[in-house]
């Protein structure tokens, strides 16, 4: 079955038409990308049958076509960036309990990628609205790219594109996008499950308290990694904003225990192991329950600056 699915994915990827995800400006998505997205949703990427699929598909979804090696090498050659110490404080802890990750991604690879990212944005600062430096949580967001991509070069350009275009507000020094996501999580939960929302509120629990790591890292903080990657296939295909609904889906999967518990925070401190398929299935159905204007806010919260 997975071999047949891999064949179908390869057929789409090998089509001569340029498969490229929509540009936010045009809003148009070409047929190849539509097919890819549909297959990701219905079948999932069979990376066990063909390990080359996920990196190729992620690059298409992120619209990463240029990989100028010299540019990356120039950043690396500059050595430690000004926040190297801050980076080193986090990198050794990245997915520390995941043996497969530790075997494939060494700490120096993470440090190099994050250093290079800071240098890249150090150079671009003058001509962009949002500046970027290293903020806590970036190490975990970089981890899936280093694990998935065949080279540090590809990981670097995919990570950079992802941060700068998909969730720039998540990595501002104030973590503005993350805090907006947490507020939206409370508002969405109140609509989709008022009883659960009221129970958590009665214990003084808001999303800010129990869901911060899951929103900040797009669930990459919840093992196992193979399930995180499957969830990210979905988020890269349909939008980072859906992570908020994926966190609600995890809550709904543990709803009975949470409702029975006199102190739910004990349960919520560490979410149960991630199961991507049920989480994605629930998240997709939740979209239909939200008023259009709330969903619109959800879509924009990772990247659109609010006019105060």
Least confident window among 123-127, 187-191, 217-221, 268-272:
123-127
> And the tokens for 81?
């960036």
Cα distance between residue 81 and residue 87, in whole Å = 9
pLDDT at residue 65 is higher than 50: yes
Please, is 271 exposed, middle or buried when counting C-beta atoms within 10 Å of its C-beta (0-12, 13-18, 19+)?
A: buried
Q: What is the pLDDT of residues 241-279, one digit of tens each?
A: 999 999 999 999 999 999 999 999 999 999 999 999 999
Evaluate whether 11 touches 39 at the Cβ level (below 8 Å).
no
Cα distance between residue 81 and residue 137, in whole Å = 17
Mean per-residue pLDDT for 157-183?
97
**Other CB atoms closer than 10 Å to residue 304's CB: what's the count?**
14
pLDDT at residue 308 is higher than 80: no
The per-residue pLDDT for 24 is 47
Alpha helices in 149-224 (DSSP H): 152-161, 176-192, 194-202, 207-210, 212-216
pLDDT band at 298 (very low <50, low <70, confident <90, very high): very high
Least confident window among 46-50, 145-149, 155-159:
46-50
Residues 6 or more apart whose Cβ sits within 8 Å of residue 211: 182, 185, 247, 268
The per-residue pLDDT for 305 is 87
Mean per-residue pLDDT for 47-56?
96
Q: Provide the mean pLDDT of the chain.
A: 93
- Map tokens 């390869």 to a residue: 10
Least confident window among 9-18, 195-204, 206-215, 230-239:
9-18
Output the pTM of the full model. 0.93
Please, is 173 exposed, middle or buried when counting C-beta atoms within 10 Å of its C-beta (0-12, 13-18, 19+)?
A: exposed
Least confident window among 75-84, 85-94, 97-106, 121-130:
121-130
**Cα pseudo-dihedral 109, 110, 112, 118, rounded to 10:** 160
Mean per-residue pLDDT for 115-143?
88
Cα distance between residue 52 and residue 138, in whole Å = 25
Q: What is the pLDDT of residues 3-41, one digit of tens each?
A: 999 999 999 998 865 555 444 444 556 888 899 999 999
> And the tokens for 94?
């990245």
The per-residue pLDDT for 17 is 55
pLDDT band at 49 (very low <50, low <70, confident <90, very high): very high
């Amino acid at each position: 079955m997975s071999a047949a699915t891999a064949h179908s994915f390869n057929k789409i990827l090998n089509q001569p038409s340029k498969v490229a995800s929509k540009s936010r400006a045009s809003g148009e998505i070409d047929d190849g990308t539509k097919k890819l997205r549909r297959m990701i949703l219905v079948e999932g990427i069979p990376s066990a049958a063909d390990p080359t699929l996920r990196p190729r598909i992620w690059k298409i979804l992120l619209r990463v076509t240029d990989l100028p090696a010299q540019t990356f090498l120039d950043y690396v050659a500059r050595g430690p960036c000004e926040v190297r110490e801050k980076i080193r404080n986090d990198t050794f802890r990245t997915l520390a309990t995941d043996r497969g990750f530790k075997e494939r991604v060494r700490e120096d690879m993470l440090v190099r990628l994050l250093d290079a990212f800071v240098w890249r944005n150090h150079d671009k600062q003058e001509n962009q609205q949002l500046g970027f430096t290293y903020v806590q949580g970036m190490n975990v967001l970089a981890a899936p790219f280093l694990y998935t991509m065949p080279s540090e070069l590809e990981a670097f350009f995919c990570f950079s594109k992802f941060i700068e275009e998909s969730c720039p507000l998540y990595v501002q020094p104030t973590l503005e996008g993350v805090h907006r996501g947490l507020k939206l999580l409370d508002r969405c939960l109140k609509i989709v499950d008022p009883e659960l929302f009221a129970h958590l509120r009665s214990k003084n629990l808001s999303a800010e308290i129990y869901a911060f790591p899951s929103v900040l890292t797009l669930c990459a903080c919840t093992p196992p990694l193979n399930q995180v990657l499957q969830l990210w296939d979905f988020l890269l295909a349909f939008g980072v904003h859906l992570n908020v609904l994926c966190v609600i889906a995890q809550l709904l999967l543990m709803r009975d225990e949470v409702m029975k518990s006199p102190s739910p925070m004990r349960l919520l401190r560490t979410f149960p192991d991630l199961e991507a398929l049920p989480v994605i299935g629930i998240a997709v159905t939740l979209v239909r329950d939200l008023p259009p204007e709330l969903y619109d806010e959800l879509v924009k919260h990772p990247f659109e600056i609010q006019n105060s």
